[in-house]
Amino acid sequence: MTVLITGGAGYIGSHCCVAFLQAGHDIVVVDNMSNASQVSLERVAAITGAKVSLETADIRDQSRMEEILKQYRCTAVVHFAGLKAVGESTKIPLAYYDNNVVGTHRLLSAMANCGVKQMIFSSSATVYGDPQFLPLTEDHPTSAVNPYGRTKLMIEEMLRDVAASDPSWRFGILRYFNPVGAHESGLVGEDPQGIPNNLMPFITQVADGRREELSVFGNDYDTPDGTGIRDYIHVIDLVEGHLRAHEVLGSGSAPSNCFAVNLGTGIGYSVLEMVKAFERASNRQIRYSIAPRREGDVAQCFANTEFAEKLLNWKAERGLEDMCRDTWNWVCKNPRGYETVA
């Protein structure tokens, strides 16, 4: 009864490993290590006291995936592996379609050949495109506006088609909003390679002196302080949602063999609210300057969480102060990320 976690050495994946191990599951991680560190899994083992098996492999290598599924007698997959930067996806779209869409196709083919028919897929609120109404419900029309979002949407459609073709498949599609935070131990956290893609790592790099200031993209949105509003969710709440989805899929209690559900808090915070909250948590000033809006950014985006509460019996428990405190704890203990010697 082993769960295969693709991309399990990355930010969300490593926290998911902790949650699944602490719940008593055996896991094996597949990661090509293109945006991850093996140290993260050593830290997972330190937190849980459990063995973490790592297979350095690429999900696009179907025969290798079949070997791993058979070797570990896997019964389910949690699928994080993929490229994930919106801006980068507009510059190298073919790499995104190859890694994300082709990779998932080959993973599914390997699963089919091995009789493994349960998957949780890491999707994104980007599949909703520009919000037509808020908060976003799961039946909001989908229309991704960049290659990254389109890869997520294409994979969702692929999973729905496979589920419709064979009722023995079980898929849980989890649409994330904006994951932040770190494990309370400070042993695992977000360690982006190169220039960060998300707000929180930028804020932390200003707080610890690696960057002079934060660029706030636009202060003329139709929001209370003019800056963009997003639904930030603590990574621990997020991975607990994965654990609940895994249990629901395994029990057969889901309303269908392929469901999509939002994982967010239902509360939106602006960029400047995030800055102020992090200043309180870190006791550091976060210098920022206003820059022009970025193409493709929307004014507001936050989740309706009612379906997640009903289907998964799950609700985010951690607030903004927790997110900022745990992030700062991670940064203080690991000023250079996983390069820092524990």
Active site residues: 148
Instruction: Concatenate the DSSP letters of all residues of 231-280 into one string.
Output: -EEEHHHHHHHHHHHHHHHHHT-SSSSEEEEEES-S--EEHHHHHHHHHH
16 near 78, Cβ under 8 Å?
Answer: yes
Nearest to 233 by CA among 294, 173, 308: 308
Amino acid at the residue 53: S
Structure tokens at 39: 């140290």
How is 145-210 classified by DSSP, letter by letter? -SHHHHHHHHHHHHHHHHHHH-TT-EEEEEEE-EEE---TTSSS----SSS-SSHHHHHHHHHTTS
Q: Name the helix (H) or strand (E) containing 307.
A: helix 306-312
Q: Among 247, 208, 199, which Cα is nearest to 227's? A: 199
Place of tokens 């779209």: 93
- Rounded to 5 degrees, φ, ψ at 247 are -65, -40
Sequential DSSP letters for 121-147:
EEEEGGGG-S-SSSSBPTTSPP---SH
Largest pairwise CA distance in the chain:
55
And the tokens for 229?
């509003």
CB atoms within 10 A of CB 213: 11
What is residue 58's three-state secondary structure? coil
